[in-house]
Amino acid sequence: MFVFENVPGLLSMDNGQHWEAIQNMLRNAGYNIDFKELNALDFGVPQERKRIFIIGWRKGTHHYYPAFQPIKANWTVADVLAGLPSIQAGEENNKYRPGRMKKYIAEYLRTTDDVLTWHVARPHTAQDREIYQLAIHEWMDGGKHRRLQYQNLPAHLRTHKNQTDFSDRFKVVAPDMPYCHTILAHLSKDGHYFIHPDIRQSRSLTVREAARLQTFPDSYFFEGSRTSAFRQIGNAVPPLMAQRIAEALIEQWQAE
């Protein structure tokens, strides 16, 4: 059997011709296939992330596409980020905060023996940090959950020529919800779309925070530069989701 993951746009690329070619190639290679759009949040991942998952099995076998039961969240994004030290833009601090681990963290993300790495924040300009504070205030103000619109910024902060497209280019990672918006590889270029919700920090996510939202355990060390680490995280299938898909396939093999 195999599992193949890609963005939903795969199905419509080149008016569907690309997807048709992939299906024909896999079937000609001797596989029956099925596919579904799965959302990572249904697998216990604290992130809304919709992707196409193709599962294939050798012709002549009796395998099938598993039925996945959605997991009901009993955590928040703030729970997932808990225990990491407060840092400012451009700072690094790889020492856990003291205290008891949140249930989600203890179950999925770390052990008491883990050593914290990659909790380093990229530097930001004073202008960006001022915008981040406004974005955080908009989201947290009385629980109204409003997204900052670029055209509503004070005039001295609106420095882009194009002020109508990408009006939500500054987005806070929601701390009071069980999942955030999709972590993308674009995080390697700037952090405007992934602002930490603590207004006292006024910065974008660190590598470790982004890794946690993708369910990489704290024991996982990313090789390469900070830019490379962000790209690896954004392009990855969330490990917790991959694990649960693999466990469902193992159940089929054990039932043979």
pLDDT in tens, 128-161: 999 999 999 999 887 778 888 888 888 888 887 7
Does some domain include residue 255?
Answer: no
Does some domain include residue 254?
Answer: no
Res. 225 pLDDT band, cuts 50 70 90? very high
Does some domain include residue 256?
Answer: no
Q: What's the domain count of the chain?
A: 2
Give the domain extent around 98.
Answer: 77-235
Q: Which of residues 255 and 58 earns the better pLDDT score? A: 58
Radius of gyration for the chain, computed over Cα atoms and rounded to the nearest angstrom:
20
Whether residue 22 is found in the same domain as residue 128? no
Mean pLDDT (whole number) for 164-189:
88
pLDDT in tens, 12-63: 999 999 999 999 999 999 999 999 999 999 999 999 999 999 999 999 999 9
Whether residue 11 is found in the same domain as residue 112? no
Which one, of 191, 171, 197, lies nearest residue 86 by Cα? 197
Which one, of 97, 39, 106, 90, lies nearest residue 68 by Cα? 39
Whether residue 10 is found in the same domain as residue 59? yes
Whether residue 47 is found in the same domain as residue 158? no
Does some domain include residue 245?
Answer: no
Whether residue 64 is found in the same domain as residue 85? no
Q: Which helix (H) or strand (E) covers residue 246, if one does? A: helix 239-254
Whether residue 6 is found in the same domain as residue 108? no
CATH value at residue 218: 3.90.120
Q: Which of residues 83 and 164 earns the better pLDDT score? A: 83
**What's the mean pLDDT when you consider all of the chain?**
93
Does some domain include residue 139?
Answer: yes
Whether residue 182 is found in the same domain as residue 126? yes
Angle made by CA atoms 13, 17, 18, in degrees to the nearest 5: 60
Three-class SS state of 149: coil
**For residue 110, how many C-alpha atoms fall within 13 Å in the half-sphere facing its CB?**
23
Residues above pLDDT 70, as percent of the chain? 98
pLDDT at position 163, please?
Answer: 66
Whether residue 106 is found in the same domain as residue 178? yes
Whether residue 212 is found in the same domain as residue 111? yes
Does some domain include residue 159?
Answer: yes
Whether residue 88 is found in the same domain as residue 25? no
Euclidean distance between CA atoms 226 and 187, whole angstroms: 10
Mean pLDDT (whole number) for 103-129:
95
Mark which of 41, 72, 103 sits at the end of a domain: 72
Q: For 24-46, give one letter per residue: b (16+ CB within 10 A) or e.
A: eebeeeebbbebeebebbbbbbb
Mean pLDDT (whole number) for 210-235:
96
Angle made by CA atoms 216, 105, 139, in degrees to the nearest 5: 85
Euclidean distance between CA atoms 76 and 196, whole angstroms: 14
State the pTM of this model. Answer: 0.92
Mean pLDDT (whole number) for 94-116:
95
Two structure tokens written together for 129: 């940090």
Whether residue 67 is found in the same domain as residue 81? no
Mean pLDDT (whole number) for 213-223:
97
Query: Quick check: 1 pLDDT over 70?
Result: yes
Euclidean distance between CA atoms 46 and 75, whole angstroms: 8
Two structure tokens written together for 131: 């915008």
| Cβ contacts of 156 within 8 Å, gap of 6 or more | none
Whether residue 67 is found in the same domain as residue 84? no
Query: Quick check: 166 pLDDT over 70?
Result: no
Does some domain include residue 20?
Answer: yes
Does some domain include residue 66?
Answer: yes
